[in-house]
A and B are shown apart, each in its own frame.
Chain A
């Protein structure tokens, strides 16, 4: 065995474990620097609280039950808004990808609406719904709708027509053709839309909750700002980040198990 081979073989066996650690090195370093900078007093506590203060604020908020309640409220809004907007977007994507008539009927209109930034509708939405739940759900659903719609449509349109012809030749009916050829072919693109939509979902929710809400993480942050509780403000921002990361991980996981045939998800 040559030197190079020996090295390579060794690296192969060590890499996976190292990989798991490597990605956390930078966040840990940032946290450390942050802590040092704050506790040494380089940055005043009213500008940026130390990580330990943030943890403490989290602990207090957790004990009062406020934190869990607000996370739950935001999580619920995110999920319901996503399911409504994503569901409708998926349905329109399917309809317009499969039926030229439906495409002619609705696509131009949808493309026009897409050009309105959905957050610009906030004043209108407040007038319509006040600060009820429906206001937030409406905004999230609207924001999520377009990425899911566009990517589902794109996925279906770009399924290899030769595979569709093959399915027909081998006697698949429309249902089978959809289930075995069109849907799996469109799935990678649908996932792209879903992951994009997840980002928009959190963004919309943050904005909506800071402007028009009486509960939720965004509301918690705004309340804390009024009382100058900067540690709670930072806490809510961090929780948003964690929730965003969690949503992304879930969709990555789903991708990995459903797209294991795809070259991009090859097992090493």
Chain B
């Protein structure tokens, strides 16, 4: 009898071959020439932003400028207000005081959010879920084509007619990503989108995220509790502490970045040290 060891890869199978992506891109351009040149990211200016829930002053005056197309990561302890900041930026909640401006007039479809939970409609097929992302543009004749192109970009074209329930956690998040990207947003806000995934799936999702960001040139704002993820993906890492931006760190490391390289590790270490300062002063 012959024994063969079968190793089931986690969710790594999916990053679609470059050729496929290039085809999808070409088809997209042919279908809608207005999409070219791509709109690119939006710049973002935040002034003295405050948010309180009753007596709980979560954000106590955030000042921040994010240039168009930058990839920003936000890290901080649990409960420090990362999600709150993201929800304010995405317009899901009103600020208590202060302002957020995007420089230009924004359409609703220009800013998209992705959460830790995929939030897919269980009663809609994968393709129909992606079409939801078109928002007001859903009535256009090419909605279906665009949804399928978005699915191809995340490597899930063959799952378009399936119910979400049969997908793995990583695949569900990729559908959520396709839904967020199908309207060609200019700002993408992500609230720990990979937080619930296993380590390997997470790494391949990070690559996917980096690839669509460099391809579509939107402004990315990623909230994460994983400092190594932040330094691997972002141009800039913001550390939030007690409602303020405590540190603003540029990550000047050329892409593609090699995971586990010494300079990434060093940056990660110094940011972690900042985050743990509080603990040490409490211990002392």
Contact = CB atoms under 8 A, between A and B. Distances in A.
Interface of A: 162-163, 165-167, 169-172, 180-181, 184-185, 187, 259-263
A167 B124 CA distance: 13
B135 A180 contact: no
Interface string B167-178: 000000000000
Interface residues of B, number: 20
A188 to B, nearest CB: 10
Contact of B92 (A165, A181, A184): A165
B107 to A, nearest CB: 10
B4 to A, nearest CB: 15
Contacts of B258: none
For chain B, what secondary structure do more than half of its interface residues adopt (helix, strand, loop), or is it mixed?
loop
Given A163-B119, A260-B163, 9 more contacts: A162-B115, A162-B119, A169-B90, A169-B112, A171-B109, A171-B135, A184-B121, A259-B123, A263-B165
Nearest to A180: B121
Contacts of A187: 123
23 contacts: A163-B119, A165-B92, A166-B132, A167-B132, A169-B90, A169-B92, A169-B112, A170-B133, A170-B135, A171-B108, A171-B135, A171-B136, A180-B121, A180-B124, A180-B132, A184-B121, A184-B123, A185-B123, A260-B163, A261-B122, A261-B123, A261-B165, A263-B165
Interface string B103-141: 000001100110101010111100000001101100000
A259 B112 CA distance: 30
A110 to B, nearest CB: 28
Interface in B10-55: none
B135 A262 contact: no
Nearest to B179: A170
B218 to A, nearest CB: 16
A162 B117 contact: yes
Nearest to B122: A261
A101 B186 CA distance: 39
A173 to B, nearest CB: 10
A262 B122 contact: yes
Contacts of A261: 122-124, 163, 165
Nearest to A168: B92
Interface in B60-100: 90, 92
A187 B121 CA distance: 13
Nearest to B176: A166
Nearest to A171: B135
Nearest to A263: B165
A179 to B, nearest CB: 11
Nearest to A266: B165
Nearest to B163: A261
B135 to A, nearest CB: 4
Contacts of B117: 162
Contacts of B90: 169
Counting from the closest, the 4 A-B pairs by CB-CB distance are A171-B135, A184-B123, A166-B119, A261-B123
Contacts of A263: 165
Contacts of A259: 123
Contacts of B112: 169
A165 B117 CA distance: 12
A191 to B, nearest CB: 13
A56 B263 CA distance: 93
A178 to B, nearest CB: 13
Contacts of B132: 166-167, 170, 172, 180
Contacts of B133: 170
A116 to B, nearest CB: 37
A119 B136 CA distance: 51
Contacts of B124: 180, 261
Nearest to B111: A169
Nearest to A185: B123
A169 B121 contact: no
A112 to B, nearest CB: 35
A165 B124 CA distance: 17
Kindly name the residue among A166, A185, A262 whose own CB sees the greatest number of chain B CB atoms within 10 A: A166
Nearest to A169: B113
Contacts of A170: 132-133, 135, 179
Given A169-B90, A169-B92, A163 B109 contact: no
B184 to A, nearest CB: 14
Contacts of A165: 92, 119
A259 B113 CA distance: 29
Contacts of A166: 119, 132
B223 to A, nearest CB: 16
Contacts of A262: 122-123
A266 to B, nearest CB: 8
A181 B121 contact: yes
Given A169-B113, A261-B163, A261-B165, A163 B135 contact: no
A77 B274 CA distance: 75
